[in-house]
Amino acid sequence: MSRQKEVTIYDLARELNISIATVSRGLKDDPVVSKKTKKRIFQLAERMGYRYNHFARNLRKQHTNTIGIIVHELNSNFITSVLSGVERVTTDAGYDLIIAHSSESAKKEAANAKNLFHKRVDGLIASLSFDTRDLEHFRPFIDRGVPVIFFDRVDEAGDNTIVVIDNYKCGYQATEHLIHQGCKKIAHVTASLNRNVYAQRYKGYRDALFDNDIPFSEDLLIVRDLSEAAGIEAAMCMLKMKPLPDGAFITNDFVAAVCMRTLKENGIVIPDDIAVVGFNNDAVGKLIEPALTTINYPGRDMGEIVARNLINHLQGISKLEQTKTIIVNSNLIVRKSSQKNNPGFLKQKSTRNK
């Protein structure tokens, strides 16, 4: 761990026979110091391997120019898209980003929050983990006036600013689409209904069924997590149903893909036997066969919107308190996995509206 002595502005000042104030100013290109001295400063700094001390600076300035983001998982197309959107905006605005992920654990999420709090991020962006029940670990930020924005997985009840898609509508659309294809028994594979996104999608699903006079029964609802095992289990569940469902709305593309594979292995033809709609528009949907009908969830846009709002607040351009909810566009992408070949049915159904 032998780290040789750091060179500081004192060293530069001594060497150049000027004051540390001038060095400090020169280093940040303050127009008030002469071109000549600035040049000398930069050259010497370079030569001596000077690096400015983040800590001294932050200690002095009392803010960090850093924003933190807590996500539930890195291993997801959607999340990495969000991240890239956030990053574009934050780096443009000269902010650093610290990425933390909770691995879907409320405990880790709280630890991350605490850590970012101590690191004194100027603002926080978060999407809740699977099993997060309350928002206590965000209290310190709010108490201290550090702005927090939630996206995707949020607590709708609180009065924090949230950025979401219309999960209810998406659930409704996805289900309605299956109904239009002639499905009369639609399974719903999803994750914990405690999380707003899944609860809303479920609600949309239920309402679409109801509005179309399709009966619902509890055993059509399959709640698991987002793992490969979940996909296999869901398929097994469906295979046991008598009669088989003729459609499935699965709220995650990866799970949908695994599920489809398992169904196919068991002789089910998709979409003829079971039509499938996923969620997120992950890359995998276009790779599997048949290609997966899904809801396009524009992560990058969402990331940009979240970050832009946070930074505007930080810069005093707008107040976060004025905005409670921002809804980002999303839409159904129809591919092969859901298209049944029964135009006759479609015609007969065409009176339905909205």
Partner DNA sequence: CTGAAAGCGCTAACAT
Partner DNA sequence: ATGTTAGCGCTTTCAG
Binding flag, residue 229, DNA (CB under 7 A) = no
In the complex with a copy of itself, the residue whose CB is nearer, 62 or 353, is 62
Residue 157 tokens read as 């009840």
Question: 49 contacts which partner out of DNA, a copy of itself, none, CB within 5 to 8 A by kind?
Answer: a copy of itself
Do 216 and 202 form a contact (C-beta atoms < 8 A)? no
Q: Pick the closest to residue 176 from 275, 271, 63 (CA basis).
A: 275
* Stretch of 7-15, 71-79, 254-262, 304-312 lying at the interface with DNA (CB under 7 A): 7-15
CB 344 to a copy of itself: min, Å: 29
In the complex with DNA, the residue whose CB is nearer, 59 or 283, is 59
Encoded one letter per residue, x for contact with DNA by CB under 7 A and - for no contact, window 46-75 reads ----x-xx--xx-xxxx-------------
Binding flag, residue 292, DNA (CB under 7 A) = no
Spatial distance between the Cα atoms of 174 and 121, rounded to a whole number of angstroms: 39
Binding flag, residue 6, DNA (CB under 7 A) = yes
In the complex with a copy of itself, the residue whose CB is nearer, 143 or 213, is 143
* Stretch of 23-31, 245-253, 268-276, 294-302 lying at the interface with DNA (CB under 7 A): 23-31
In the complex, which residues of this chain contact a copy of itself (CB under 8 A)? Answer: 1-4, 6, 49, 51-56, 58-59, 62-63, 74-75, 77, 80, 83-84, 96, 98-99, 103, 115, 117-120, 140, 143-146, 228, 254, 257-258, 261, 283-284, 286-289, 314, 316
Binding flag, residue 19, DNA (CB under 7 A) = yes
Spatial distance between the Cα atoms of 197 and 203, rounded to a whole number of angstroms: 10
Binding flag, residue 199, DNA (CB under 7 A) = no
> Which residues does 276 contact at the CB level (< 8 Å), separation at least 6?
247, 248, 250, 256, 259, 260, 270, 292, 293, 337, 338
Choose, by CB under 7 A, the member of 18, 97, 221, 326 that binds DNA: 18
Choose, by CB under 7 A, the member of 15, 27, 166, 169 that binds DNA: 27
Spatial distance between the Cα atoms of 237 and 51, rounded to a whole number of angstroms: 60
Burial label for 23, CB within 10 Å (0-12, 13-18, 19+), is buried
| Alpha-helical segments (H) within the chain | 9-16, 20-27, 35-48, 54-61, 77-92, 106-118, 139-143, 167-180, 196-211, 228-240, 253-265, 284-287, 299-314, 343-349
Spatial distance between the Cα atoms of 273 and 240, rounded to a whole number of angstroms: 14
Question: 19 contacts which partner out of DNA, a copy of itself, none, CB within 5 to 8 A by kind?
Answer: DNA
Question: 27 contacts which partner out of DNA, a copy of itself, none, CB within 5 to 8 A by kind?
Answer: DNA
Backbone φ/ψ region at 340: left (φ over 0), alpha (ψ -120 to 50), beta: beta
Question: 119 contacts which partner out of DNA, a copy of itself, none, CB within 5 to 8 A by kind?
Answer: a copy of itself
Residue 231 tokens read as 């996909």
Q: What angle, 0 to 180 degrees and rounded to 10, lies between the N-to-C axes of helices 9-16 and 20-27?
A: 110
Binding flag, residue 22, DNA (CB under 7 A) = yes
Question: 347 contacts which partner out of DNA, a copy of itself, none, CB within 5 to 8 A by kind?
Answer: none
Name the pairing type of β-strands 66-71 and 96-101.
Answer: parallel
CB 222 to a copy of itself: min, Å: 19
Contact set with DNA (CB under 7 A): 6, 8-10, 17-22, 24-25, 27-28, 31-37, 50, 52-53, 56-57, 59-62
